Amino acid sequence: MWAVSASGCRWLGAAGSLAVAVGGYGAGALPVIGGGPLWSPRASGVETAGAVLAALGLTLLVAAWWRYGVLLARGAAGGALGTLTAWAAPLLLAPPLHSADVYSYIAQGAMVLEGYDVYGAGPSALGPDQLGADAAASVGGNWTDTPAPYGPAFLLLAEAVVRLTGGAVVPAVLLFRLVAVGALALIVWAVRGFGRGDGALWLAALNPLLLVHVVGGVHNDGLMIGLMLAGVLLAVRGRWILGSVLVGCAVMVKSPAAVALLFIAVIVARRGPLLKGLLPPAVAGAVAAGASLLSGTGFGWLGTQSVAGAIHTPLSLTSDLGLALGTLVSDDPEPVKGVVQQLGLLAAVVIIAVLAWRAYRGRIDPVLGLGYGLVALVALSPMVQPWYLLWGTAVVAAVAWHSRAGQVLAVFSAALVYETQPAGHTPWYGFVAAGLVLALGLLWLRRERWPAAAPPAPLPTTARPASGDS
């Protein structure tokens, strides 16, 4: 039957992606002002119709993606790059989908350009007649007064976008989306470099969670993931200095990429003297210090890494548990919640350290250990968004998409894509839909185990370094 063939999946998924994009014109994260005739807020009836169309399209995309993955697992499909192009193209000109974060990026870039301390104030600091004011008006309520948690490299990029577009909302969003597409291309290059074929691209790049939130939602997590994966790939190939520089740049976008430095250190230490493993973090640290000094934004980013944790997100297990316990034992649950959040982060650090040690001892592939470590960090963080799962999923996909862990991450990806609505809200029925998909996926996992694939090739304990990386 054509609909369940690889070709059918490609075009059905493209149709679903197109429906998501068209639905976004009625129900996306449209700007409050500055959106022009195409991106202006709609009447409630049009918004509802757009949301229904987008939901149907998303379901078609997820179904096509899942079937395509099954075919790849059975060796009955190929052409992942063509499929990725067909699925991503309809999203390129859509308004922001499932998140309004891109308006924060524009406002923060304007703040840097206007000389504000972006690490000391939020987008609300911009006056109504200032550059970036239109974007600031569309920033979600929780983030209006929140300082930027991003590194100087990303803020310089945001400043460049605002400078080139004059802060006009639509051109700035589209230019940021061009950056997101570049990040997607970098992810594709890095994933293919690990040699796991179309299946790895299926889980890492064709993943609806990535398409919706990186291409559609324009999240800078895509740029962080692309730089991090590229840096790790270069380190695996022996070019650890350049790899560490790229990971340092990734940290200057979003700080969780720093976990990759530990595993690059493991790779280096296993190929030479143990103390040589201290060099990759030192190289990345020099990149971070240089970026902080040259950008003019300073080292304020070191003090804003915890600001997001002050905003409660229902996907954070430690925040939910801490809030529940705090409510039971005290009139003010926040102190108890804070303790549980810190314990969760401590547990994540311990898990990452154990994975790094096992990788050093040769008991787990360092790249796979990095993927597991990032998943653990997300699961135990005080602030979790659906697209955070992509941090570890893309890494696991690069070396072990065919594993049981790859299947589990695929199920969670399919479920989490339903958690937010096109406008970026998280209503109760989004969690119901996500729970239903998760339950169906877990039932499928009990019945279906993909044919075993060859394990990732072990890293050599010694290797001649590439030229310039001695």
pLDDT tens, residue order, the chain (470 aa): 776 788 899 999 999 999 999 999 999 999 999 888 889 888 889 999 999 999 999 999 999 999 999 999 888 778 999 999 999 999 999 999 999 999 999 999 999 999 899 999 999 998 888 888 999 999 977 788 889 999 999 999 999 999 999 999 999 999 999 999 999 999 999 999 998 889 999 999 999 999 999 999 999 999 999 999 999 999 999 999 999 999 999 999 999 999 999 999 999 999 888 888 899 999 999 999 998 888 788 888 888 777 766 777 889 999 999 999 999 888 888 899 999 999 999 999 999 999 999 999 999 999 999 999 999 999 999 999 999 999 999 999 999 998 999 999 999 999 999 999 999 999 999 999 999 999 999 998 888 776 555 444 444 444 444 434 54
Q: Which of 409, 265, 332 is nearest to 417 (CA)?
A: 409
Q: What is the CA 342 to chain-centroid distance, rounded?
A: 23
> 3-state SS string over the chain?
CHHHCHHHHHHHHHHHHHHHHHHHHHHCCCCCCCCCCCCCCCCHHHHHHHHHHHHHHHHHHHHHHHHHHHHHHCCCCCCHHHHHHHHHHHHCCCCCCCCCHHHHHHHHHHHHHHCCCCCCCCHHHCCCCCCCHHHHHCCCHHHCCCCCCCCHHHHHHHHHHHHHHCCCHHHHHHHHHHHHHHHHHHHHHHHHHCCCHHHHHHHHCCCHHHHHHHHHCCCCHHHHHHHHHHHHHHHHCCCHHHHHHHHHHHHCCCHHHHHHHHHHHHHHHHCCCHHHHHHHHHHHHHHHHHHHHHHCCCCHHHHCCCHHHHCCCCCCHHHHHHHHHHHHHCCCCHHHHHHHHHHHHHHHHHHHHHHHHHHHCCCCCHHHHHHHHHHHHHHCCCCCCHHHHHHHHHHHHHHHCCCHHHHHHHHHHHHHCCCCCCCCCCCHHHHHHHHHHHHHHHHHHHHCCCCCCCCCCCCCCCCCCCCCCC
Query: Residue 364: its pLDDT value, please?
Result: 95
Helices 334-360 and 259-270, packing angle to 10 deg: 20
Provide the pLDDT for residue 20.
98
Instruction: Look at residue 309 in the predicted model and tell me its pLDDT.
Output: 66
Residue 218 lies in a domain: yes
In a domain, 142, yes or no: yes
Tokens 């939602």 belong to residue = 217
For the record, the structure tokens of 317 come out as 């297990």
Phi, psi of 54 (to 5 degrees): -65, -40
Burial profile 295-324: b = 16 or more Cβ within 10 angstroms, e = fewer: bebeeebeebeebbbeeebebbebbbbbbe
In a domain, 406, yes or no: yes
* Residue 111 falls inside a structural domain: yes
Amino acid at 359: A
Provide the domain limits for residue 383. Answer: 2-447
Number of separate domains in the chain: 1
Domain-located, residue 463: no
**92 touches 131 (CB < 8 A):** no
Q: Which of 449, 442, 455, 445 is nearest to 368 (CA)?
A: 455
Nearest in space to 401 (alpha carbons), one of 441, 455, 458, 443: 455
Query: Does residue 284 fall inside a structural domain?
Result: yes
Q: Is residue 208 part of a domain?
A: yes
Residue 467 lies in a domain: no
Q: What is the pTM of this model?
A: 0.93
pLDDT for 130 equals 87
Distance CA 27, CA 423 (A): 6
Q: What is the per-residue pLDDT for 18? A: 98
Neighbours of 340 (CB within 10 A): 22
Which structure tokens are listed for 181? Answer: 């597409």
Q: What pLDDT is stored for residue 274 in this prediction? A: 83
